[in-house]
């Protein structure tokens, strides 16, 4: 009707895995901006963007210039993190959204460089960079944190959903084959942590890093989630 705010209704058509809105199973729900939708193991976030939000995303696109990108992987450089992360965290805080970090490290990457040469290692990093960029959304951040280590910041994403995303990415990397190295299998270990309002950013990222090293110590090619600070 004229003058009324638009209404979007989600209707589950007897799907096998069911539909969840804000972690609650539902057959029919009227969506509101910020709602989290879970379809099987796929997480979506519904947003009704106003002009201010659209301008923010356009500004974010402009801010992420080619100078901010790592030329090998196409991800953001670590230097760009100092500018981009505070802005993303501020927006999540303003909207009451959770935010999670995923730390990724390629398993035994030094062996690839040592046995096949740095050209082979660069090829692996290019392919993994493309997989990471495909896995994140426009509002997320994907950073080449150092060498073969990647930091992913997921806006509006809780710990469980971040862990599922990390595990899908892990599976995609393990399933990838390289045209010039068909015998090469690359795996990754990942650590996940949801930010807590009581901790500093460094402590939050540190928890994701510790979860990553737990994944490595327990056999590699796996994803682990850090417990919230209050649970330790």
What is the C-alpha to C-alpha distance for residues 125 and 215, in angstroms, rounded to an integer? 20
The one catalytic residue in 43, 139, 148, 194 is 148
Taking Cα atoms as reference points, which of 55, 140, 147 lies closest to residue 101? 140
The span from the CA of 24 to the CA of 152, in Å, is 26
Residue 148 among the catalytic residues? yes
Q: How far is CA 58 from CA 66, 116, 182, in A?
A: 15, 42, 40
CA distances from 123 to 113, 128, 129, 197, 208 (A): 11, 9, 10, 39, 26
Q: What is the DSSP letter of 44?
A: E
User: Token pair of 216, please?
Assistant: 């490595």
- Catalytic residue numbers read 148
């Amino acid at each position: 009707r004229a003058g009324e705010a638009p209404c979007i209704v989600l209707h589950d058509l007897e799907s096998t895995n069911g539909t969840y809105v804000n972690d609650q199973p539902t057959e029919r729900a009227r969506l509101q901006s910020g709602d989290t939708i879970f379809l099987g193991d796929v997480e979506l976030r519904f947003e009704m963007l106003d002009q201010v939000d659209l301008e923010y995303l356009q500004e974010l696109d402009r801010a992420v210039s080619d100078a901010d990108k790592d030329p090998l992987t196409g991800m953001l450089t670590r230097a760009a993190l100092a500018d981009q992360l505070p802005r993303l965290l501020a927006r999540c805080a303003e909207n009451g959204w959770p935010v999670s970090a995923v730390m990724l490290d390629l398993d035994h990457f030094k062996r690839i460089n040592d046995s096949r040469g740095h050209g082979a290692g660069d090829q692996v990093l290019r392919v993994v960079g493309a997989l990471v960029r495909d896995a994140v959304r426009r509002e997320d951040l994907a950073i080449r944190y150092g060498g073969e280590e990647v930091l992913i910041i997921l806006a509006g994403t809780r710990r469980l959903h971040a862990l599922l995303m990390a595990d899908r990415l892990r599976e995609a990397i393990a399933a990838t084959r390289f045209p010039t190295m068909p015998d090469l299998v690359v795996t990754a270990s990942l650590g996940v942590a949801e930010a807590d309002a009581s901790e500093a950013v460094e402590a939050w990222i540190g928890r994701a890093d510790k979860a990553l090293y737990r994944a490595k110590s327990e056999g590699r090619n796996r994803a682990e989630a850090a417990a919230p600070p209050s649970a330790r």
